[in-house]
Each structure stands twice: as structure tokens, then as C-alpha cells.
Amino acid sequence: MSFVSHKTKGDHAVDVAIYAVLGFFALITLFPLYYVAIVSITPYVEVMRNGGFVLWPEHMTFQAYKEIFSSPRIPQALKITVFITVVGTTLNLIVTTLLAYPLSKKSVPGRNFILMALVFTMIFSGGIIPLYIMVRSLGLYNSIWALVIPGMVSTFNLLIVKTYFENLPTEVEEAARVDGCGELATLFRIVLPLSAPIMATIGLFYGVTHWNEYFKGIFYLSDKSLMPMQVVLRSMIQTPNVSTELSINSLVLDALPPETIKMAVVVVATLPLLIIYPFLQKYFVKGALLGSIKG
């Protein structure tokens, strides 16, 4: 015997109210980015004529994007950011996985002590100055690796991956060992293929952190050619004259004001993450939930 549920008018009214509230919050969240994108392709004369508020431009211009990509500063900063994001995230995933997998086994000697030491670093840190001294003593100062190697492992992400590994069926690993697989073979052939959701989740965590890298860029780098995108964007926003940052001809700035160029740089710095995130969202939600089942 089957039961078919029918929604009442009150249920439909609640659904409408919920979607209206969610739509409102989605609108106020996306509108700033929409406004930045619109201003970046709107002639500045039109922006000023409308009091600085434009919902849709009468005329579009992509001159700002042409100028920032013809300047050597933005493409170089973008290359640095892509490098530290791709290479840094890859190294983060490798080291985190190789550390989380043995810690997920209760039979590993000293496991509890190592976990306590790792959790200790989440509560207490050495501070900025000792970290700076360590980076200089390792010869990483003013090197692109100063943006990658410090903070190679996030303890928070490590614990999520460890918990996920603990939730995997032990029978699968036991069957792999019966077939002659060692620990590394079991990890790479059995465990990792079953761990795509959690790998995508912490990969997104690490990737977003690297893409938004700002503090390490201003702290460990003095060479402008090594500055990541977010540091260049900060410098542009703080200075009233972007020609010194991008080496843009002053005659161009007469027709293309600094505000329009700044908006275009914000779009360039934000767009890649907005494009990638939808493809990882389902893994992100699933991995975060599965990785937090156990404490």
C-alpha cells in the first residue's frame, strides 16, 4: 500500500517564502560582483552620468581588460598565482594524504602523541617572527617557494582526511592485502579512488587559500615580479595612479580612468574560482559531511 503526500496551500506558501528569502540573500551576495563586472565594461563617462550606479551599460568597452593584459604586471602576477595554486595544492594533497593515512590506523605506534602534537599547533602557534626567521634561515626569503612550503599541511584538513579514511570499509583494504598489495599500493590503488570527494574538498580548501594568498606575499617577498595577484590588486586599490603599477600610458588613462581598470583587475582575480567552484561543489558538500562523521 502506497501513500501519496499532497502539499497543502500552507506548505506551498512556506516553500514560496523560503525560496524568496534564499533568492534575496543570493541577490545581495552576487550583486557586488555583478556591479564590479558591469563597471569594468562600462565607459566611465556613462558611469559618472548615472551617478556611479549602472545596472546595464548602454555601450560596452573591453579596453580595460586589453590594457591590463598588455601590461607585464598583471599577466606575471597571474602566472605566479596559478603556479602557487597548482603546485602548492598538489603538494598539499600529497603530504596531507601521506600523513593522514597512517594516522587513520589505530595500530600505528605513537599515533595519539602525533595527533595531540598536531592539534596543539591549531591552538598555539610560534608567532609571526619565529616563522619569518625560519623562512629566512631556510633560504626561502624572496623566493616563490616561500608562498608554497610554509604551511604545507593544514591540521584542520588533515583531521578531515584522517576521519574520512577511518570511515572507509576495512574489508576493502584487507582484501587488497590478501591480493598482495602493500601499504602504498593499497593507498594509491584502493583508498584514493574511493576518496575522490574528500580529495576534491580539501583540494578546494587549499586551492582557494593559495589563490587568495596575500599575507605571505607582502611578508616574504620584496621582488615585484614575484608578487601574486592579490598583492598586486591591493597595491592598485591603495594607489590613486595605476599607471605606476601597470606602466599604462597616461594618455590611455585620460579615456580609461583608474576605477575602471581596478574593477577589471578584481574580475580577473575572482573569475577563475567562480568558474571552477560549481564543478567541485557536489564533492565539496559530500566530502565535508563524510569527513566530519567521527570526532
The terminus-to-terminus CA distance of the chain in angstroms comes to 41
| Cα gap 70→56, rounded to integer Å | 26
Confidence at residue 90, expressed as pLDDT on a 0 to 100 scale: 95
Residue with cell 599547533: 121
Mean pLDDT, rounded, for 49-54 = 73
Please enumerate in sequence order all residues whose Cβ is within 8 A of that of 152, keeping only pairs 6 or more positions apart, or say none. 91, 92, 95
User: What is the three-class DSSP state of 124?
Assistant: coil
Please enumerate in sequence order all residues whose Cβ is within 8 A of that of 230, keeping only pairs 6 or more positions apart, or say none. 81, 212, 213, 214, 217, 269
Contact assessment for residue 158 and residue 118, using Cβ atoms and an 8 Å cutoff: yes
Alpha carbon distances (Å) from 224 to 11, 96, 132, 149, 263: 59, 31, 19, 20, 21
63, three cell numbers: 579596453
Contact assessment for residue 263 and residue 242, using Cβ atoms and an 8 Å cutoff: no
Mean pLDDT, rounded, for 217-222 = 88
Q: Does pLDDT of 52 surpass 80?
A: no
Alpha carbon distances (Å) from 132 to 4, 126, 129: 65, 10, 5
State the amino acid at position 20 in one-letter form. A
Listed residue (96, 86, 73) closest to 154, CA to CA: 96
- Of residues 287 and 93, more confidence is placed in 93
Which range has the top average pLDDT, 87-91, 159-163, 256-260, 282-286?
A: 87-91
Sign of CA dihedral 85, 88, 91, 94: negative
- Of the listed ranges 95-104, 216-225, 227-236, 285-294, the least confidently predicted one is 285-294
The CA dihedral of 246, 249, 251, 256, to the nearest 10 degrees, is -20
> Does this model's pTM top 0.85?
no
Confidence of residue 175 (pLDDT cuts 50, 70, 90): confident
Contact assessment for residue 78 and residue 268, using Cβ atoms and an 8 Å cutoff: yes
Chain CA centroid to CA 38, Å: 24
Q: What is the tens place of the pLDDT at every residue in 150-162? A: 888 989 899 989 9
80, three cell numbers: 605566479
Please enumerate in sequence order all residues whose Cβ is within 8 A of that of 54, keeping only pairs 6 or more positions apart, or say none. 35, 38, 39, 42, 46, 47
Q: Which domains does the chain possess?
A: 1-61 (no CATH), 63-295 (1.10.3720.10)
| Cα gap 164→92, rounded to integer Å | 17
